[in-house]
Homo-oligomer: A and B are copies of this chain.
Amino acid sequence: MKISPNHPRFRSLGTRERLVRGFQNGIVAPQGLIAHGRGEAFDYMLGETTPKSSRLATKAAVALLLRARNPVISINGNTAALVPRDIVRLARSVPAGLEVNLFHRSLARERRIASLLKRNGAELVHGVDERARVRIRGVASPRRDVDAQGIGDADVVLIPLEDGDRAEALTNAGKAVIAIDLNPMSRTSRAAAVTIVDNIIRAIPELLQITLTMKPLSMSRLGAIASKFDNETNLARAMKDMIHYMQGWAET
């Protein structure tokens, strides 16, 4: 079925079709489709645009990534299906490691995702097969096993589309967690040091662009940007944007 470019939700429907193709290609899990739908609803309340609160968080996130000793980007099926090229570009420009880390694990899916990332320019992809695994305490799912050279050794972890348990566990393990999550009330959003409340199809290109802009900055300048940021205040701001949107509807 063709969608007209005049449809009010043209881009959102296109993204949905891309995800369904990712599912048909064995990249996305069925549960990933449900999770995407949750995100769609929250994105709807952002008017499907990047709010100011998200721009602020993106700058703080880039400051953390550029200052890190070993930054790693965690990749799940939805991220790979929706932004394979830009996530690899982001990893190369920081530079940061890439690790496949799935909630619904299967070796076949890990391999397909790693190969998709490699076709998009990635050199090394952590997290495939059982070699050199370490365990993150306090996570019940198979997602607790991480690569010793990847997330296991990372000081800063970027986790687009994460589950709450693991976001909390990574924070408890002393890592600075950067989350991308459309739900500002989720446990992931609240556990992270920096939460970008935005759709990854907008957030990853934005992270990439701001990384290129901020790369020339000194370590002390980056440190100042990161320490000025307060995640709790920023999440309240994102919620106010959504509340404002719903109030507009409630009054019509």
Which stretch, A39-47, A81-89, A119-127, touches the partner chain B?
Answer: A39-47
A125 to chain B, nearest CB (A): 25
Kindly state whether residue A220 has any CB partner on chain B within 8 Å.
no
Residue A73 interfacial (CB < 8 Å): no
Instruction: Report the count of interface residues on A (CB-CB < 8 A).
Output: 35
Q: Mark A237-252, 1 if CB is under 8 A from B, else 0.
A: 0011011001101110
The verdict on A183 contacting chain B, using a C-beta distance below 8 Å, is: yes
Q: How many copies of this chain?
A: 2
Q: Which residues of B contact A251 (CB under 8 A)?
A: 236
State whether the Cβ of A31 lies closer than 8 Å to any Cβ in chain B. yes
Partner of A250, one of B24, B31, B38, B243: B243
CB < 8 Å neighbour of A37 from B33, B236, B240: B33
A133 within 8 A of B: no
Q: Which residues of B contact A212 (CB under 8 A)?
A: none
Interface of A (DSSP majority class): helix
The answer to the question of A185 belonging to the interface, with a C-beta cut-off of 8 Å to chain B, is yes
Asked whether any CB of chain B lies closer than 8 Å to the CB of A20, the reply is yes
Residues of B within 8 A of A243 (CB): 243, 246-247, 250
A39-93 interface (Cβ within 8 A of B) = 39-42, 44
Closest to A237 in B: B250
A141 lies within 8 A of chain B by Cβ = yes
- Select A34's contact among B4, B40, B183, B249, beta carbons within 8 Å: B40
Partner of A41, one of B24, B37, B140, B246: B37
Contact status B246-A250, CB under 8 Å: no
Pair A42/B41 contact, Cβ less than 8 Å: yes
A187 CB to nearest chain B CB (Å): 9
23 contacting pairs across A/B (C-beta < 8 A): A4-B140, A16-B31, A19-B34, A24-B30, A30-B30, A34-B34, A34-B36, A34-B37, A36-B37, A37-B37, A37-B38, A37-B39, A38-B38, A38-B41, A41-B41, A41-B42, A44-B185, A184-B249, A236-B250, A236-B251, A239-B249, A243-B247, A246-B246
What is the interface of chain A, defined by CB distance below 8 A to chain B?
Answer: 1, 4, 16, 19-20, 23-24, 30-31, 33-42, 44, 140-141, 183-185, 236, 239-240, 242-243, 246-247, 249-251
